[in-house]
Structure 1
């Protein structure tokens, strides 16, 4: 166990011949004590740590002790017996410890979830606004109204339903909803392999808060139900639309919005599974497969179905290994840097992988810090660019954008919390449903205020900018299409 941390990966360190020789001698002399200590830990369920008494337990065992120990090992190493012992001996302690650990982990992760959902929500809302501008938003405005550091887009595929341009069924947020639903399907195809373009054992696969930021934050804010529904209601009413009431276009807009989002989500899952299958096939090619303890156990089960091979080195194997190490010169020891792995016999793979916990925790912590710093820098730089465009460029669009960045996290986090607070059934996910209804109500209310009570010359004022940012940032991020489609499919 002391040397197993050097077994994988090989580039983390080597062991000198003196350390190998002393460790093997120690394990050889006290093998029975180590086995009995490990068994007592298993029986205790991990709730109490046993500290051996060096004056009593490290004494040489009588000849009859190994026999009784081996007899006990044959029965205690069964997975079902050990599980029943842990469950019956001290169920209260095990449950309390587990609940305490789980609650603490959930409390720690919840703050990370809030941060990543808010940060990626800002990125998703900004992407939604720009995608809407590229595919038709700029066509509804004059060159001055669509002013930016780049030239206004004239693709003109979508329409807002208010001007004399036809095509309101292809609403402004349709492309963003399609892209966001595709990304949601791509990132939610497998819980064990959430990022399909990375290896399954990549440390980013274990960043659960980062995954929630990508799905709930980015994809959830990239898609919006509130803005989509608001445009359809405005087209149905027709009071402030130059073309009047457009009932057929609005109904077609509802249909297209739903079916395109579902199709994009399913296509994202197909692409993710193709990606995952490609990664798995590459990992199983000859020369690229990394041996694991599970594979070794499967091979042992095929060879001896009735019993498993012991992972503890016998006396002859220890003597042979010690003779080879002793006879090796220091130069040979430096050249031969193959690590030695001594693993205690156990049916639980976590015991064999216990020594890799420190390394995995270190990589997980470092990866989390890098992700946190990168996310913060992206959001801060984006906000500063919008502020610079507002102050120096005098573009009111940038004023809208940095205000949108302020309201977006509130809507995104509130949506994620509603999903946790409200119970869900097999037929209705009340959290997402409530968030979409609230977002749609706030959005249509703000649209009425902007259209009826705000003069046209004050649309670009601070009040008009505030209301627009509240509608696009808060209401647009409070509602979502990608999560709704995920729960629907």
Structure 2
């Protein structure tokens, strides 16, 4: 009896140890993924929404242990027990959004609501392009408003670089629409949430422009301004998103007191949702017309202004090539939360955002070298347009700020500063290498 009791106690201790280890591992994995995916997950957002119709998750009495029920084929439904840690980013779906059983009347009605996969992607790309162009235009206006011509707050010769106001404003808005109210916007339209955060706010802010200005300051001997530009820029961007999140939470509390939205975030008085097939097609057509109009106007103005050069021609050329940068960044964002290799190492690093920012900074430095070497009006117009449009939209500060803020509030706040250090140092060092190599070799 004593030996049996001892054996049972040993088994219980081992079971408790395994459960604790599994719980801790799932906790860390969930924290890593949710933090790394705080900014964007790219086209995985559309894929996960579509794939959710192939299964449903049931749970009882609020327990963490759910059951995934297969709904494919003619076989009898069998519940499969799945352990879900309470702090993990993977949680059971609420009953109101759990997908119905395949073959039921609800499923047929749901199928009638969705666009085909190709049109779904196409509609999302069109909306990303439209909001990306609007982000480029807003960034240009903020540069002119705070630059030497009007307010004279920012310039290319100080650590208060020209893109600082747009980076701060975009990060502030990311706190509102990319953190606090993103779920509410998603309830209206998933495409709108993606286009607003990835398209507009991602294009309103730019990391490559920030990096290039600090790089040029250091090359010209203003190392102190370059260091201050990096530190002050990071501090102001981080403060902007924190301020945005706090003010958005206050506004949400006010809306809940006015009974406009409930405590859970659902609207009590407004119930808009773009979920009908005809409505989705109508939205796609409207944005397609808007994109065609924006591109037509930009093309006509580029043709009229190109022979004169200057900022106007550069702006409209940037509007034409900007959507390409948004699309590339959106597809790269699918790497966020995946980690390296099959083992998924370093899941806490958003590799999609990191690759977008670093690659845009490197190409920006290379094009700056080309512009110095060629030194013609037409070359300046094309290169500056690509830098301001395509590379400005490919890189982003607002998403970087959202990821930084999520890491700072996670169980491992040091990762936020490690991520910022990696992004800034790698971009700056590679940019210096690319920008200065022609000078060192006597090419420029």
TM-score, L = length of structure 2:
0.59
- After TM superposition, the structure 1 = structure 2 runs for residues 191-230 of structure 1, keeping only pairs within 5 Å, are 193-195=183-185, 205-230=187-212
Distance in 1 (CA, whole Å) between partners of 2:204 and 2:399 is 11
Question: 1:90 & 1:229 partners in 2: Cα distance?
Answer: 55
Q: CA deviation at 1:129?
A: 1.9
Map 1:43-122 to 2 at 5 A: 89-91=76-78, 109-122=120-133
Q: Secondary structure at the match of 1:266?
A: helix
Is 1:170 the counterpart of 2:168 in the alignment?
A: no
Which of structures 1 and 2 has the bigger CA Rg?
Answer: 1
| Alignment correspondent of 1:129 | 140
Q: Map 1:178-327 to 2 at 5 A.
A: 178-190=168-180, 193-195=183-185, 205-238=187-220, 245-283=221-259
Cα shift at 1:439: 0.5
How has the CA–CA distance of structure 1 residues 190 and 91 changed in structure 2, closer, same or farther, with 3 Å as cutoff?
farther
The match for 1:403 is 317
Deviation at 1:186, TM superposition (A): 0.8
Distance apart, 1:108 and its partner CA = 5.3
Aligned residue in 2 for 1:156? 152
User: Equivalent residue for 1:427?
Assistant: 348
Shift of the 398–367 alpha-carbon distance from structure 1 to 2, 3 Å rule, reads: farther
SS of the residue corresponding to residue 189 of structure 1 reads helix
Aligned to 1:75: none
For the residues of structure 2 that align with 1:291 and 1:125, how far apart are their CA atoms?
32
For residues 275-330 of structure 1, give each alpha carbon's deviation from its aligned partner in whole angstroms, at most 9, with x where no partner exists. Answer: 22222222279xxxx999xxxxxxxxxxxxxxxxxxxxxxxxxxxxxxxxxxxxxx
- Show CA shifts across 1:352-377 (max 9, x none): xxxxxxx9878755654564455445
Q: Distance in 1 between matches of 2:381 and 2:398?
A: 27
Q: Deviations over 1:425-467 (max 9, x none)?
A: 453111100111100000111111112x122xx23x2x32211
Please give the TM-score of this superposition, normalised by the length of structure 1. Answer: 0.54
Residue 470 (structure 1) aligned with residue 386 (structure 2): yes
Q: Which residue of 2 aligns with 1:25?
A: none
Asked if 1 retains the 8 angstrom alpha-carbon contact of 2:188 and 2:274, the reply is no
1:74 alignment partner in structure 2? none
Secondary structure at the aligned position of 2:180 is classed as coil
Structure 1 residue 417: Cα displacement: 0.7
Q: Whole-Å Cα distance in 2 between the matches of residues 223 and 135 of structure 1?
A: 15
In the alignment of these two chains, the number of paired residues is 301
- Who is 1:17 aligned against? none
Kindly indicate whether residue 365 of structure 2 is the aligned counterpart of residue 444 of structure 1: yes
Alpha-carbon separation, structure 2, partners of 1:384 and 1:154 = 30
Aligned to 1:488: 404
Distance apart, 1:188 and its partner CA: 2.2
Whole-Å Cα distance in 2 between the matches of residues 362 and 170 of structure 1?
42
Q: Deviations over 1:403-436 (max 9, x none)?
A: 2122211111111111104624453111100111
Equivalent pair of 1:180/1:219 in contact (CA under 8 Å): yes
Match of 2:25 in 1: none
Equivalent-residue separation in structure 2 for 1:192 and 1:127 (angstroms): 21
1:350-389 equivalences in 2 (<5 Å)? 364-365=276-277, 368-369=280-281, 371-389=283-301
User: Post-superposition shift, 1:383?
Assistant: 4.0
Distance 1:390 1:192, change over 3 A: closer
Q: Check the 8 A contact 2:175/2:243 in 1, yes or no.
A: yes
- Structure 2: segments with no counterpart, 5+ residues: 1-52, 55-59, 80-98, 340-345, 406-444
In 1: Cα distance, 2:290 partner to 2:187 partner: 21
> How far 1:273 moved relative to its partner?
1.4
RMSD: 3.9
Q: Give 5+ residue unaligned stretches, structure 1.
A: 1-45, 48-77, 140-152, 162-167, 196-203, 239-244, 293-358
CA distance in 1, matches of 2:395, 2:68: 49
Alpha-carbon distance in structure 2 between the residues aligned to 1:454 and 1:479: 25
1:416 to 2:398 alignment? no
Q: Cα distance 1:274–1:367, how it changes in 2: closer, same or farther (>3 A)? A: farther
2:436 matches 1:454? no
Deviation at 1:391, TM superposition (A): 5.1
